[in-house]
Structure formats: structure tokens, C-alpha cells
Amino acid sequence: MNLFKNLDSLRRFDSFSKTIEDFRVKTSGGGLVTLLSIWCMVVLFYAEVKDYMTPGITEDLFVDTSRGPKLRINLDIVMPTISCSFLSLDAMDTAGEHHLHIDHNVYKRRLDLLGQPLEEPQKEDLTTSTSLKATTEKANVTGLATLNETCGSCYGAPKEVIKCCNTCEDVREAYRIMQWRFPDPDDIEQCKNDQSNLMAKGAFKEGCQIYGYLEVNRVGGSFHIAPGRSYLIDHVHVHDVQPFSASSFNTTHTIRHLSFGLNIQGKTNPIDGIYVVTPDGATMFQYYIKIVPTTYVRKDGSVLQTNQFSVTKHRKVVTMGHGESGMPGVFFNYELSPMMVKYTEKEKPLGHFLVNLCAIIGGIYTVASIIDGILYHSLRAIQQKIEIGKLS
């Protein structure tokens, strides 16, 4: 009995006073407000649960002291008007030194002029800008080996340069060493049935997709896709586009993807999917990229190293009519920022989640009660005026 008396003494603290069931009035308007309130609670409850399940991310900025050995470059670029046989991919660092022995996995896929694949992709041998000295020595060895058999003409090039020119490539190399303009291949006996001459005739009848990745030293540098075979002449990087001129190439292109490092879900790459048309003919496109090293720490403790970047673009027409010098192609120059961004995933506190749920339920219930009260009293007042005939 004492227990019940103690419980009865708690009634004076009751803030939720109840009314007798007989005095409660239920209306259709109140039912509609209740259903709408339940729907709002469910929607907001789902949004709150989804937000709670999504980890919170904090950002920190500090000086990059990491010593990553390599920088991975992921690319997927389409040149729709130049065949794969006339495109090369070169990479070099800020000192102008060409990257030799780069670990890469770059493929070329032949496309028709409508962008449809013509064959399976072929792995590309990354161009490392053959020096003239090396190619001259190779040509001389070839010439000595075949001197006793046949000795083709070099068409004016001194024999001190190359002993014999038995192939179209030997003639090209002799003219390249002498820095002469290469004549029409149809006038060179060695080039009439040469595979390179046949490929030159189809240089503008196909397109090319270059995709894959390459790993370079973690320093500033550049890479580019340009027509012609690249060489190093007196420490100067040049492209041999013979028998064409540089102004013959239309460098319209699509950058389907370009990123540095791992591709993490949620990371955006600013130039993915852009399509650039060159109405003025041969154009040199230059993309200046600022790379920001980024560390992503997941809530399970795993650490992912990647990079974000910003880019600015510049174009220069290199046709003779514009009087501009340069090489048509797509050039990417990148620098690494000394600062690093660190993103850390953190779980949201359960207490915060529960407080938000209470706020949703209490807030909607309060607002719904106010709306229901306004509707009920308004309709009741209108009904009373109708009954006494005062509603005009």
C-alpha cells in the first residue's frame, strides 16, 4: 500500500496531463495533418540515419615531408584525326632530361574517323628521344654489315655520315643528321614499298586512343602527345613529321581521363571529359598543372596516398599564316606543391544522432499541433457563422 501511495505522490510532477476520452474530438483535418507529419518524420529519419552512417571528414594542411619515390600518371586521351603510327608519347623532368626506363603500361588503339575501334589495343613503346649519335652508330654498323652485298644511295648525304642507305629509314636518318628537308618518299627508291611510307599515306584517315599509366620520378616535369618521331639534337627535343609539315596536323582531342596517383571515390579530376576542337588548324595546346599531394585516412586506419590538381590551359596556333613557332600537340606541364592536404574520416557521435532524432520528432509534433489547432478553430468558427447565417 505504501508503494502505491508513493506512486500517487508523483502525480503532481506530471507535465503530460491527460484528458478524458469522452472529451477528445477527432477530425478529418487532424488525421490529414497526422499522416503528413508521419511522412515527414520518416523522410527526415532516413536522411539523418544516412548522414550518421556517412563518416565525417576533417581537413588538415601542412608542409609535405613525404619522400614518395614515384608519381603515377593515369591518362586516356583521344586524337580523332591522327593515326596511331604518327603519334608519340614523350616525358621529361624539369631539367630537360628525358625519362629512360620508365615503368609504364600505355596502350594505343586505332580508331576510325567516327571514333569506333578498328582493332585490339597495342602496347606502346614509350618514346625516349633517340639521340643522333646512337642512331648514327647503328646506321654505320648496318652499312658496314651490308657493304659487301649492296650499298644503297643516300641521295647526297656524305658517306662519312652513313656508309650505305639500304632502307628508307637509313635515308631519313642521313637527312636528319644533315638537317636537310626530306624529299618526297615516292622519289626515293628505298621508300617506295617501305611500311613507313604506306603508314604516312593513312596518317589522316584514322584516329587514335592513347590510354594507360606511366610512373615517373616525383619531381616537376612534363609529358606530351605529338605527331612524329622524337629525337634529341644537341640537347634539343625535336619531332620529325616528314613527309608532312607541322601545320598539316589537326590536334583536336578529347581528354577522357587524367589523374595523378590512386583514383579514390569522390575525388574529382577537373579536365575529365573535355573535348577541344581546333578550327585554326595545327595548334599547340599547353596544360599547366599544379599537383597537391593528398593523404586520405579511412576510419579503419588505412592510409591512401593520392594527388589533387588544378589546371590552366593555353593554346597557340602554329600554322605559317599566324607566324607562330612551336609544335602541334597536347602538352602537359606539371609542378608539385610543397603543401599536403590530409583528409581523415571520423565516425559521428551516437549522442549527436539521438539528439537530432529527438529534435525531428519533437519539432514536427509541435509544428503539427499548431497547424492542427489553427485548422480546427478556423473551421469551427466558419461553421458557427454558417449556422447563424452571418457568413456572407
Looking at residue 160, its pLDDT comes to 64
Residue 222 has pLDDT above 50, yes or no: yes
Looking at residue 291, its pLDDT comes to 93
Residues 230-253 have a mean pLDDT of 72
Residues 6-25 have a mean pLDDT of 64
| pLDDT band of 138, cuts 50, 70, 90 | very low
Looking at residue 172, its pLDDT comes to 72
Over the stretch 294-337, which tens digit does the pLDDT of each residue have? 888 888 888 888 899 999 999 888 765 554 567 888 999 999 99
Q: Among 79-88, 137-146, 184-193, 382-391, whose mean pLDDT is lowest? A: 137-146
| pLDDT band of 209, cuts 50, 70, 90 | very high
Higher pLDDT, 145 or 108: 108
Residue 202 has pLDDT above 70, yes or no: no
Residue 101 has pLDDT above 60, yes or no: no
Residues 114-124 have a mean pLDDT of 79
Over the stretch 332-383, which tens digit does the pLDDT of each residue have? 999 999 989 988 888 888 888 899 999 998 898 888 888 888 888 888 787 7
Over the stretch 36-45, which tens digit does the pLDDT of each residue have? 988 999 999 9
- SS3 labels along the chain: CHHHHHHHHHHHHCCCCCCCHHHCCCCHHHHHHHHHHHHHHHHHHHHHHHHHHCCEEEEEEEECCCCCCEEEEEEEEEECCCCHHHEEEEEEECCCCECCCCEEEEEEEEECCCCCECCCCEECCCCCCEEHHHHHHHHHHHHHHCCCCCCCCCCCCCCCCCCCCCCHHHHHHHHHHHCCCCCCHHHCHHHCCCHHHHHHHCCCCCEEEEEEEEEEECCCEEEEEEECEEEEECCEEEEECCCCCHHHCCCCEEEEEEEEECCCCCCCCCCCCEEECCCCCCEEEEEEEEEEEEEEECCCCCEEEEEEEEEEEEEEECCHHHCCCCCCEEEEEEEECCEEEEEEEECCCHHHHHHHHHHHHHHHHHHHHHHHHHHHHHHHHHHHHHHHCCCC
Looking at residue 196, its pLDDT comes to 58
| pLDDT band of 46, cuts 50, 70, 90 | very high
Looking at residue 180, its pLDDT comes to 67
Residues 248-273 have a mean pLDDT of 86
Looking at residue 47, its pLDDT comes to 92
Residue 271 has pLDDT above 80, yes or no: yes
Tell me the average pLDDT of the chain: 77
Looking at residue 146, its pLDDT comes to 40
Residue 100 has pLDDT above 70, yes or no: no
